[in-house]
Amino acid sequence: MIHKTCFDQSTIDCIENLIRLKNRADTETQKSIRNKIRKLGFYWTDFHPKDEYPQVKYNVENFRQLIKCGLITVYGKNNRMCYTHETKEDKRSSPQPSNNYKESLEPLVGKDPKVLILGTMPGPESLRTGNYYANTSNSFWRIMSDIFNDGILPVSFNERYDLLRENGIALWDSLATCSREGSQDSNIQNEVQNDIQGLLNAFPTIKKIVFNGKKAASYFIPRISYKIAPSTSSAHTISYKDKLSAWKNAIM
């Protein structure tokens, strides 16, 4: 495989996402994710050989330090440098986000996922707890349990995430950031999209996208097969039976 020191911004974003995933994965999945990073041309040991730098952690912060030091070059359109490093002084002087500023969760991806489910932006309870679909009025986990676990709802979120991974389901949202008052998607403004195509490039085993509602689908046009399932939010008031049927048809 080719070892590279120059990347475009899209690849940098993809590498960072994969590093985050690797650091949250089990040992077997970590190896698979590391191989995906290497296919993009980045080898951590090119910069930090284990025998010389055993104390340096393989994480996003230290990856960005390689860019700041000039060891990795990042190019955007027209081969212009597009990566900027924000210092603590920059952060203090820059405008702070309002209370309505929302930032999405990290993607949930296991080994060789087959289907990517995309919501719009996590609701207040999910953002508060750091867990996908944490609001108990949302039917997402009930639907997943009916489809994949004979209707038995796992108690912990880790068990719920394992259920998705074991069945080849990845989970993310269409938006990276936005401003939104309350939890309604209709209130979303100033939206910035997630690098969904970068995730698909990193995990080519994903062959289908299922959007959780029409709003989620409005931000990304897939190049692969996709379905739009009815929103699992309680605000979408069709019957649970109809929701479950539609989701089964969308995923299977």
Note the pLDDT of residue 69.
72
Note the pLDDT of residue 22.
87
CATH 3.40.470.10 domain range(s) in the chain: 101-251
b/e code 1-36 from CB counts within 10 Å (16+ = b)? eeeeeebebebbbbbbbbbebbeebeeebbeebbeb
pLDDT bin (cut points 50, 70, 90) of residue 1 is low
Note the pLDDT of residue 53.
67
Q: How far from 39 is each of 33, 45, 109, 191, 226, CA to CA, in Å?
A: 10, 14, 18, 31, 26
Rounded average pLDDT over 8-28: 85
DSSP for 97-113 reads: P-TTEEEPPPPB--SS-
Task: Determine the Cα–Cα distance for residues 75 and 224; give it in Å rounded to an integer.
Answer: 27
Q: Which CATH code is given to the segment(s) 101-251?
A: 3.40.470.10
Closest CA to 122 of 143, 107, 142, 144: 107
pLDDT bin (cut points 50, 70, 90) of residue 79 is very low
Note the pLDDT of residue 73.
79
Q: Which residue has the higher pLDDT, 141 or 4?
A: 141
Active site residue 138: yes
pLDDT bin (cut points 50, 70, 90) of residue 138 is very high
Among 135, 138, 194, 212, the active-site one is 138
